[in-house]
Structure formats: structure tokens, C-alpha cells
Structure 1
Amino acid sequence: MRGALMGYYLKILLAICAVHELAGGVIRSTTDAAYKKYLSIKSLPFEDCGSLYQVSYLEIESCTTVPCSMARNAIIKVTVRFDDNGNGVSFLKHEVRWVFNYIKTQAAISPDPCDGDHGCIESASDGKAYWANIFVNETLPVMRGSMLWESKDANNQNLICFQVPVVITV
């Protein structure tokens, strides 16, 4: 059912793109809005905690529902799409914490910082995208909590902030 619905939305998006080509860009904003809506439908749900740039899509490897089940001693890829308002973001320093009963523990992220040397920031038609790997430490408690992810620029300004419910497993 969900695959059929996504196929339907994809057909609508392709039709909009075809009309866009014929109209010479007159409806570009409509196409962009449709694509952003499509991304938001496919995105993993998250709570924004004060992002400067709008996050349009979040993917956490092997996680399709929240809370995200994360096994101890695993390395999990996180991908984020965001609109940098044309500012050309090329550097992100990550501060990621596990939060369990109001206790915050620093998470290990790689690559950090994300810059031109690592290929982890990419330009996309709707802004930027970045990826990073998070290590689920083997000493984390087996319980529910959340992952708090902040990405900052070279001046330590918080550009992206989101929180996702997680459950740590063995």
C-alpha cells in the first residue's frame, strides 16, 4: 500500500517536472514545493530543537519508525537534507548526545568535522545534504531515550538541531 502511494506521488512529481520543462520554469516554486513535500513524507519523524536552517529530510540507517532501535556496538549512518538558504554551507561540526532520563552522554561521530576533505556535505537541488556515522557505544544503557543532534558552523553557530526517540538494544 505504502509503495503504491509513493509511486502515485512520484508520478505526480514527474508530471509536474514535465510541465515545468514546457513552461520554461514558470512553476519552479511549485515543483520545489512538491519535492520538499515528497521528502517530508519519506523523512523519519523528528523534533526540531531550534534549527537555523530548515531540515527537510532525515534518514537513520535501518530505522523506519520511532523510537529507532539501535544496537550497542553498531555504527549507524545518518543522512540529513536541509535548506541552507543559498549560504553555501561547507563545514559542519557535530555535537551529538544520547539522552537517558535527563542524563546526556556524548556520542562518537565520524567524520567530524564534516568538511570538504571528507565528502560528507553535498549540494542538492533543494539545498544541502550531509551524512555522518554515529557509534552506539557498548556501555550505553539498554533503555529508551533520545539522540540529540546539533550541527554547528566554524563560528560555533547552531545551524541544525533535531532530536529523535531511540531505544538501545543488545
Structure 2
Amino acid sequence: MDKFIAAVILVVCMSVDISSGKTPFHTCKSGSSKVTNVVIPGCNAPPCKLKKGSSAAMSISFTAGEGYTKVTADVHGVISYIPVPFTPPNVDGCQHSGLTCPLTKGKNYVYNNTIPIKSSYPNLQLVVRWELLDENNKDILCIEIPAEISD
């Protein structure tokens, strides 16, 4: 009976993790903050499917590694090792992103942004590299997410 209960608890825990909406990501080698979670709705397995003519919302949870007075988003689509600018409409991370600057070292934050997936983009696989830069243009955080743009 105890093994059965343990098995049920294990299955429930695994189901909660799968359905929690966590998006698979890799952290870059740069960045002084610790990324704890990334969520792109509808993306629970790589590559994230990005539909042309739509918008992709993203939420990044992180712990600030230092204090920052300014936050700027820098986004690229990396195609065959070549970074191509993929600029969100709001690059100011201190405005309309869930962050209030200045950021305090050791405090937890959630950054939110949305990027349009233009109909003019070609169908392709890429890696989306999303960086948040500080007032000195150094990485606060950097994540990479495998993605696929399609009709």
C-alpha cells in the first residue's frame, strides 16, 4: 500500500511540473543574475512554436545578482550561429515589464514582455537569445530558447 501511495504522489508531482507551463531554456555564460523560471504560454517542450502573425509573450523569473538602475532588453534570433536583431516593441525593462527600477541585489523579480512574430518572417528554426542589459550595457541575464517560426 505504501508503494502505491508513493507511486501516486510521484505521478501527481510529475504531472504538476509538466502542466506548470515551464518553458525549457538555457542560460548563457554571461549575466550576473540567476534565472529561476521562464514561461512562454503553450511552450513546454523545445522547440517553442512561434506562429507568424501572432505575438509571443514571455515571463522570466530571476534573482538580481547586483543592484541595477537601468534595464534594457536585447533580443536576437540566432540562425546558423548568426545573431539577427529581433527587437521587442518595449526595450525599456523599467517600463511596462513588471520591473520597477532600481533593482536590488538578491531580490526576486519577474520580467514580462511580448514580441510580435511578423508574417514576413521566413519559416525556420532558430534560437531566441533574450538578454537584459544594465546601465553599463552588461548582461543582467541571458537565456536561449530553441524555437521554430511557422505559418
TM-score (norm 1): 0.68
Instruction: Give, in angstroms, the shift of residue 141 of structure 1.
Output: 2.0
Aligned residues: 136
Whichever structure has more helix as a proportion of its residues is 1
Q: Residues 130 and 90 from structure 1, CA distance in 2 versus in 1: closer, same or farther, beyond 3 angstroms? A: farther
Does residue 73 (structure 1) correspond to residue 83 (structure 2)? The answer is: no
Q: Provide the residue aligned with 2:31 in structure 1.
A: 51
Q: 1:150 aligns with which of 123, 131, 134?
A: 131
- 1:62 aligned residue: 42
CA contact (8 A) 1:43 1:56 kept: no
What secondary structure is seen at the aligned counterpart in 2 of 1:110? Answer: coil
Instruction: Tell me the alpha carbon deviations over residues 100-154 of structure 1, each in whole angstroms, 9 at most, x when there is no partner.
Output: 2223221131322121x4252168x961111011111223221211101111012
Query: Secondary structure of 1:5's partner?
Result: helix
Match of 1:109 in 2: 88
One of 50, 60, 64 as aligned partner of 1:84: 64
How large is the RMSD of aligned CA atoms in angstroms?
2.9
The unaligned stretches of length 5 or more in structure 2 are 1-7
On the 8 A contact 1:93/1:152 being kept in 2, the answer is yes
The ranges of structure 1 where at least 4 consecutive aligned residues each deviate by more than 3 angstroms after the TM superposition are: none
Matches within 5 A, 1:1-170: 4-5=12-13, 43-49=22-28, 50-85=30-65, 87=67, 89=68, 91-115=70-94, 117-121=95-99, 127-170=108-151
**Contact 1:86–1:127 at 8 Å: present in 2 too?**
no
- Please list every run of 5 or more consecutive structure 1 residues that lacks an aligned counterpart in the other structure: 10-37
Q: Which residue of 1 aligns with 2:5?
A: none
